Structure 1
Amino acid sequence: MPLPASPAVPPSVLHATINDWFRDEARDLPWRGECSAWGILVSEIMLQQTPVVRVRPIWEQWLERWPTPADFAAAPAADVLRAWGKLGYPRRALRLHAAAAQIVAEHHGAVPDNYEQLLSLPGVGSYTAAAVAAFAYGRRTTVVDTNIRRVHARLVIGQALPAPALTAAEMSLAADLLPEATEESVLWNASVMELGALICTARSPKCGQCPVFEQCAWIAAGQPEPSYIPKGQPWAGTDRQVRGAVMAVLRAAGAPVHADLMWDAEAASRHDEVATELGKLHALNTHAPQLERALAGLVADGLAQVSEAGYQLPR
């Protein structure tokens, strides 16, 4: 598709300016630079819907404990879920565990180096496959995440926010903007993503610090308001919150937790880690159907097992 950017601002100018900014201002993150493809894959899975500040310490512990896919594939699922901690969306951990097993079984323990094979791994979607191909193996792939979409929408289209869901037009635009030179394309993907994360943020963009302020179509249009108001994901009182509290109990327990304890506030009077997490669960004042729904959902998703002895992490 033809680029909607002003012909006075050729993509090569945007490439040079944003890439130069990235070289000077990029965060020093452990999965950049000298990092294994496995480390990059782990970071991309962890960073889905979770901020860098929460991911970094868990990622560092993870790579020290399981430096290769084979190490991780051999780990018990319960250890995996405990190590995942409170990163949220723990099904990601199980999918990564399954991906590691597939890497060992089908790729001799090495993370695949091309988009199609990466896409075949459990839990790996189009963005993650493109990102690992680019950042781990230096492939020329079109990487499009939320930050990149937002930068493209403002800088090139002149809109405050991208469409609520990824469109074919956005993918086409991203492909058109991608530099032809492979090495520059990898740098561009990282640079635009970092610009969106640090400067061109969703709620409070730091336009005065933006290296392409003068080329920005959104600024030129007078910074029009978005056509919709993004809806944040609720947390308090939701099934997700209850599931998270139950998972914290199971992570703390070394043995099955009897179902009665999930409802018994008196259990919090004990002085151990399990009791602490039970106290947090009871403090939510969860009604019985919601707690039952949370427990059943965790079992259905493979995040918990249930027996006569109670609930526990999968073995």
Structure 2
Amino acid sequence: MIDPGQVLAWGLPRMRDLPWRRERDPWRILVAEVMLQQTQADRVIPKWESFLAAYPTPAACASASLGDVLRLWQGLGYPRRARNLHSTAAHVVEYFDGAVPDDLDALLALPGVGPYTARAVLAFAFERDVAVVDTNIARVLARTAGERLTPKRAQVAADSFVPLGDGWTWNQVIMDLGAVLCRPTPRCGECPVAATCAWRVAGHPDPDPAIGSAGVSGKQARFDGSDRQARGRVLAALTVGSRPVEDFDERILTGLVLDRLVVVTNGRACLPD
């Protein structure tokens, strides 16, 4: 069980100072949330700032080539996110006059926007009383419940704790609780809900209910020697210009072409400019 008052009392004086928390512009929030998917905040901050300096609005992003967006994204990883963000910008310009929508269904219809990102835009840009469930919050929910949760149960549980009129603050604070204390290896001695956390009260029995629960990320596969590393090297090489297809592993290059991240013309590979 979670007492929102205790969590807010713990979290408000300790809230992490992240630059997107000083924003309410929905495009800037959306860019941050897309970048934060599978990437730590300290790596995101400089890329978020440089991306928004180049593309301060959806219209600016939509008017750029995907190749230019990928060049700016270089080093952040998971480049399909850049492609989806570029497609989202074009969708917003075409269907919403360049303004990120404030409707859940409309947000979910945007390329690459899932339940978490859509609700994050509503909560953090529009200050709606909706609950977000990222990997940090999902750990808190599963452990306090003392069991693995399905996506539906996790969302229902998260929704039940949002204090009326305090959705923005609540989501930030419970996210910090998961990021700072309710880690994969938890720091229960400092936790404001330790006394009512079912898993902690039971003595931390195996298995940890957070493992395999909806929304909780597992360990990422090894990067060194992976296809992700090989794909990143191809894209990095193409940021400075086209190259003969023979320079690259055929399987890796074919995958990038199928993902619409690389174009092959006359035996040369290049970014989609």
Give me the TM-score of the superposition, normalised by structure 2.
Answer: 0.91
Matched, 1:258 2:244: yes
CA distance in 1, matches of 2:31, 2:79: 13
Contact 2:23 2:125 in 1 (8 A): no
Matched, 1:215 2:215: no
Matched, 1:175 2:159: yes
CA distance in 2, matches of 1:96, 1:75: 12
Q: Mean alpha-carbon deviation: is it higher for 303-312 or for 44-53? A: 303-312
What is the total number of aligned residue pairs between the two structures?
266
CA distance in 2, matches of 1:306, 1:69: 28
CA distance in 2, matches of 1:250, 1:22: 45
Describe the superposition over 1:40-59 as per-residue Cα deviations: whole angstroms up to 9, x where unpaired.
Answer: 00000000111101111000
Matched, 1:126 2:115: yes
- Equivalent residue letter for 2:188: C
CA distance in 1, matches of 2:151, 2:98: 35
Cross-structure match for 1:190 = 172
Please show how residues 15-30 of structure 1 align to structure 2 within 5 Å: 15-30=4-19
Please show how residues 164-313 of structure 1 align to structure 2 within 5 Å: 166-179=150-163, 181=164, 183-202=165-184, 204-226=185-207, 230-251=218-239, 253-254=240-241, 256-262=242-248, 291-313=249-271
Describe the superposition over 1:147-199 as per-residue Cα deviations: whole angstroms up to 9, x where unpaired.
Answer: 111001112x135xx45xx43222222222233x1x22332222111111121
- Quote the offset at 1:107 in angstroms: 1.0
Q: Which runs of 5+ in 2 are unaligned?
A: 213-217
Matched, 1:50 2:34: no
Q: Which of the residues 58, 72, 80 maps onto 1:91?
A: 80
- Equivalent residue letter for 2:246: D
Matched, 1:73 2:52: no
Matched, 1:60 2:49: yes
Contact 2:23 2:29 in 1 (8 A): no
CA distance in 2, matches of 1:20, 1:62: 35
- Equivalent residue letter for 1:224: P
- Quote the offset at 1:309 in angstroms: 4.7
* SS of match in other structure, 1:32: helix
CA distance in 1, matches of 2:272, 2:161: 45
CA distance in 1, matches of 2:264, 2:183: 43
Describe the superposition over 1:174-226 as per-residue Cα deviations: whole angstroms up to 9, x where unpaired.
Answer: 222233x1x22332222111111121111x22223322233322221111222
**Looking at both structures, which has the greater relative contact order when contacts are Cα pairs under 8 Å and sequence separation is at least 6?**
2
CA distance in 1, matches of 2:261, 2:23: 33
CA distance in 2, matches of 1:50, 1:301: 20
- Quote the offset at 1:76 in angstroms: 1.2
Describe the superposition over 1:210-258 as per-residue Cα deviations: whole angstroms up to 9, x where unpaired.
Answer: 222333222211112225685532323222221111111112x23x101
Aligned-pair identity in percent equals 46
- Equivalent residue letter for 1:175: D
- Quote the offset at 1:62 in angstroms: 0.9
Contact 2:107 2:118 in 1 (8 A): yes
Q: Which runs of 5+ in 1 are unaligned?
A: 6-10, 263-290
Describe the superposition over 1:35-87 as per-residue Cα deviations: whole angstroms up to 9, x where unpaired.
Answer: 41111000000001111011110001111111111111111111100111121
* SS of match in other structure, 2:243: coil
* SS of match in other structure, 2:20: coil
Max Rg structure: 1
Give me the TM-score of the superposition, normalised by structure 1.
Answer: 0.79
CA distance in 2, matches of 1:210, 1:293: 48
* SS of match in other structure, 2:61: helix
